[in-house]
Structure 1
Amino acid sequence: MGTHIIKMPDIGEGIAEVELVEWHVQPGDSVVEDQLLADVMTDKATVQVPSPVHGKVLALGGKVGEVMAVGSELIRLEVEGEGNEGKASAARAPAEPEVGQVQAVAAPTADEETRADTDVAGNSASGAAARAGAGPHGDARAEAASGSGQACAGRPARPEGEKPLASPAVRKRAWDLGIELQYVPGTGAAGQITHADLDAYAARGSAAAASATRAIAYAQRDGERQIPVIGLRRKIAEKMQESKRRIPHFTYVEEVDVTELEALRGRLNAQWGAQRGKLTILPLLARAMVLALRDYPQINARYDDEAGIVTRYDAVHLGIAAQTEAGLMVPVVRHAEALDIWACAIEVARLADAARAGSATRDELGGSTITLTSLGALGGIVSTPVINHPEVAIVGVNRIVERPMIVGGAVVARKMMNLSSSFDHRVVDGMHAAEFIQRIRSLLECPALLFVE
């Protein structure tokens, strides 16, 4: 028997140290080749580190939340044969594991985004349908109590705190189906959860699950947990703190009548949806912002407050806040000014799916010049979005509601939506901010203007 040492991989870009955010194994565990060992995070990415060999875990090289240098010892395995302990001592990082799935982290906005009935966050139709039938707040809670063996009677398929092993594709599918992987028994190598395991779990009868859920619904609960703020949550917290500390926010709220816009969207989807894809309200909002920014270029900008320089951009690189299983990310629609509404819709859906699957690149999650965010169906009537530093503006969308309004002296039902937007008051004057939102409002209330140059 020998000892195989796995060192902290060199992720590139001159990064000298990374944060250890999660262990997937513990001392004494047996591991197989390609099994995930740990998640580590840089300022821009979360990287999953797999095992290059079969073996048994002897020791872990750090604790969750610890910042470790590239090339330092990450984990020590007992393996058949000679191992690499001698070689590892002589070189900085030999036999480094191949870097696995990368999840790029963009500067997030403050509000936790949820998807509206108009699908403003860019979900695919299949994902939306799956969530409607078995969303995280619906059947999944009942299914969480179902299962066979140790997953029955509301008990999870593995001990509390043990991370379920699954590929990014399986994790994304479980998210779409509203299934918590903690409750799914795995039949793959080292207990890894496969697509077949998801199918078997989803096929289990719901009667036993419903009964078990009712039995525990009113059980007394006295537990408490202390959750370390590490990894992506720490990055989000730091980003929000930096944004609020640096930027004097000015929020402006305006009411918009989107009755005609929604009617147009419905007609376009009826005529062209099958060939060009379904339109959400988001690409129409994006087009309105692009046109309004032509008159207010100081809003499509980034402010380097340390250098005292505001950079205005002709290109509109539109950040779209998207909620993922890992946290809020902001994929960027590059050159939104050059896209028609269908091309914009396709790009938004692609980027949102990539962000949720953890396959979005760093370039796709950085470099935005202005951000569009939405609270969707749960958006209430007003919000105060936090600016995506170092940008100078963020446009926030609240939910659409039907209300009685007076039009031409008659009370009629209209679809109303609020825009709750924030601006950097050091760069954008209040009057210009209000005029910018009013310009967007005029375009949305007369949507034919979106197509007139």
Structure 2
Amino acid sequence: MARFNFRLPDIGEGIAEAEIVAWHVKVGDVIAEDQQLADMMTDKATVEMESPVAGKVLELAGEVGDQIPIGSVLVVIETEGEEAPAGEGSETDAKGERTDEVAIGDGLVAPTPAQEEAIPSLEEKAPLPHAGGDEPRSGDRGGSVKAAPEGQAAPPPTPPAGGRGGALASPAVRARARDLGIDLAQVKTASDRVRHADLDAYLLYSGGSVSPRGAARRADEDVKVVGLRRKIAENMQEAKRRIPHFTYVEEYDVTDLEATRAMMNRDRGDNPKLTMLPFLITAMCKALRDYPQINARYDDEANVIHRSGAVHMGMATQTDNGLSVAVIRDADGRDLWGLSREIKRLADAARAGKASRDELSGSTITISSLGPMGGVVSTPVINRPEVAIIAVNKVEDRVVVVDGELEIRKRMNLSISCDHRVVDGWDAASFMQDLKKLIESPLKLLSA
């Protein structure tokens, strides 16, 4: 038998150490060649470490969250064969595949196309429980009936779980009652069915006080902040500590823009369905031509502001591992359909953990949207070292005065946060007003 020391290789990014994000093996495991050992996070990426040899795991370098220096022993593996010469394994290269990159954003996300269109219902309809496999009959209380032996009387039906002896309640009502700790047997109703309104009345007349029975209390837990979540926390802390933020909010009428979007989607052919994002990005790119101080990155250590000629649009995207900012390169050179395709491609890659380092770095300004869940006003955190970020709030039907008459129009707020060291309030307000002219005039927006 021989001991093989698998050392953490130089991942090629000029780093001195990497953090253990996850172990995929434990001491005593018998592993195969190329089997995944651990996920290691550098300043910019999570890299999978795979074993170059087969054998038995003897030692692991540390716990999740520990920092391991490049070149130090990560895993000791017992292999078949003679003892390896001193130092063998120190030059071994690991097979690494980048699966995830650091997300630097404000907690807002690029919505999926489905999120852009509508918020799903909070309740799911389900059939009432009933005995056997037959459809419930009119008047069936939803209880179960056990077949009695021949010659004996059948036992009475079992009342529905959690319900009143003679009342019915839908699964949604039962679930809500359980969450609120309400005993349905205590709820008075004028009919034989307990409804949501009956629960509301019960809460009203009981002063909002209900029995603690029902939903179990969640157990206390300690969650170690490691990996991507730790990086997000550090970046947010640095952004708020270093950057004097100010936020400006403006309301926009998007009635005509929404009509234009619907018209283009009806005749899109093989093109992807357009959401609001491509239109907003196009408007931002056009307006930024006159505001180079907003499409910029600030190196506050060198005291240099780099004003970018091209617009590399950061797009905040929520993933299972945390927030990620994918970058649409040269967004100002793409049309609506090209932007739509790139938005989908990058969002899919980020959510699958397949976005490359280049696709997750180098943005010059960021846009962030929660679609229909976007709230009324946002105060987004700047994606440092950028100097501005725009948050998209939800589209709502609002009653407004148009030429002295009341009309229902589609309105939306946009919030911009800026680095006050670089961008003045007048600049931000002027930019948002020019953006307003484009968004509220689709023909001007779509013209060259």
- TM-score, scaled relative to structure 1: 0.75
Residue in 1 that maps onto 2:163? none
Deviations along 1:74-96, one digit per CA (max 9) or x if unpaired, are 112233x226x634x42462333
Residue among 235, 250, 264 paired with 1:268: 264
Q: How does 1:157-306 map to 2 (within 5 A)?
A: 218-221=214-217, 223-272=219-268, 274-306=269-301
Q: How does 1:86-125 map to 2 (within 5 A)?
A: 86-87=84-85, 89-91=86-88, 93-106=90-103, 108-113=104-109, 115=111, 119=115
Paired AA for residue 417 in structure 1: M
Residue in 2 that maps onto 1:405? 400
Runs of 4 or more above 4 Å deviation = 116-120
Task: Check conservation: 1:117, 1:377, Cα contact below 8 A.
Answer: no
Paired AA for residue 237 in structure 1: A
Q: SS at 1:286's partner residue?
A: helix
d(CA) in 1 for partners of 2:29, 2:397: 57
* Structure 1 residue 413: Cα displacement: 1.8
Task: Check conservation: 1:332, 1:366, Cα contact below 8 A.
Answer: yes
d(CA) in 2 for partners of 1:138, 1:68: 48
Q: SS at 2:267's partner residue?
A: helix
1:365 and 2:364 aligned: no
Task: Check conservation: 1:116, 1:377, Cα contact below 8 A.
Answer: no
Residue in 2 that maps onto 1:419? 414
Residue among 369, 374, 377 paired with 2:372: 377
Task: Check conservation: 1:3, 1:82, Cα contact below 8 A.
Answer: no
Residue in 2 that maps onto 1:82? 81
Deviations along 1:34-57, one digit per CA (max 9) or x if unpaired, are 332211010011011123333332
Percent of matched pairs sharing the same residue: 52
Per the alignment, do residues 5 and 92 of structure 1 end up closer, same or farther by CA in structure 2, a change over 3 Å counting?
Answer: closer
* Structure 1 residue 385: Cα displacement: 0.3
Deviations along 1:168-211, one digit per CA (max 9) or x if unpaired, are xxxxxxxxxxxxxxxxxxxxxxxxxxxxxxxxxxxxxxxxxx9x
* Structure 1 residue 265: Cα displacement: 0.4
Residue in 1 that maps onto 2:71? 71
Residue in 2 that maps onto 1:33? 33
- TM-score, scaled relative to structure 2: 0.76
Unaligned runs of 5+ in 2: 126-171, 180-213
d(CA) in 2 for partners of 1:101, 1:448: 42
Greater percentage in helix: 1
d(CA) in 2 for partners of 1:365, 1:72: 28
Q: SS at 1:90's partner residue?
A: coil
Name whichever of 311-320 and 221-230 sits farther off.
221-230
Residue in 1 that maps onto 2:148? none
d(CA) in 2 for partners of 1:220, 1:411: 50
Task: Check conservation: 1:119, 1:280, Cα contact below 8 A.
Answer: no
d(CA) in 2 for partners of 1:116, 1:98: 33
Q: How does 1:37-56 map to 2 (within 5 A)?
A: 37-56=37-56
Per the alignment, do residues 219 and 32 of structure 1 end up closer, same or farther by CA in structure 2, a change over 3 Å counting?
Answer: farther
* Structure 1 residue 118: Cα displacement: 6.3
Per the alignment, do residues 70 and 344 of structure 1 end up closer, same or farther by CA in structure 2, a change over 3 Å counting?
Answer: same
Task: Check conservation: 1:116, 1:375, Cα contact below 8 A.
Answer: no
d(CA) in 2 for partners of 1:119, 1:234: 28
Paired AA for residue 84 in structure 2: G
Residue among 329, 333, 338 paired with 1:343: 338
Q: SS at 1:220's partner residue?
A: coil
Task: Check conservation: 2:17, 2:68, Cα contact below 8 A.
Answer: yes
* Structure 1 residue 452: Cα displacement: 2.1
Deviations along 1:113-168, one digit per CA (max 9) or x if unpaired, are 26266656xxxxxxx99x979x9x989xxxxxxxxxxxxxxxxxxxxxxxxxxxxx
Deviations along 1:286-328, one digit per CA (max 9) or x if unpaired, are 1100111112111111112222221211111111111111111
Q: SS at 1:77's partner residue?
A: strand
1:446 and 2:441 aligned: yes
d(CA) in 2 for partners of 1:8, 1:446: 56
Task: Check conservation: 1:50, 1:100, Cα contact below 8 A.
Answer: no
Deviations along 1:394-432, one digit per CA (max 9) or x if unpaired, are 111011111222222232221111101101111111111
Paired AA for residue 266 in structure 1: A
d(CA) in 2 for partners of 1:289, 1:440: 7
Structure with max Cα Rg: 2
d(CA) in 2 for partners of 1:326, 1:222: 22
* Structure 1 residue 64: Cα displacement: 1.3
d(CA) in 1 for partners of 2:301, 2:89: 37
Per the alignment, do residues 294 and 444 of structure 1 end up closer, same or farther by CA in structure 2, a change over 3 Å counting?
Answer: same
Task: Check conservation: 1:116, 1:378, Cα contact below 8 A.
Answer: no
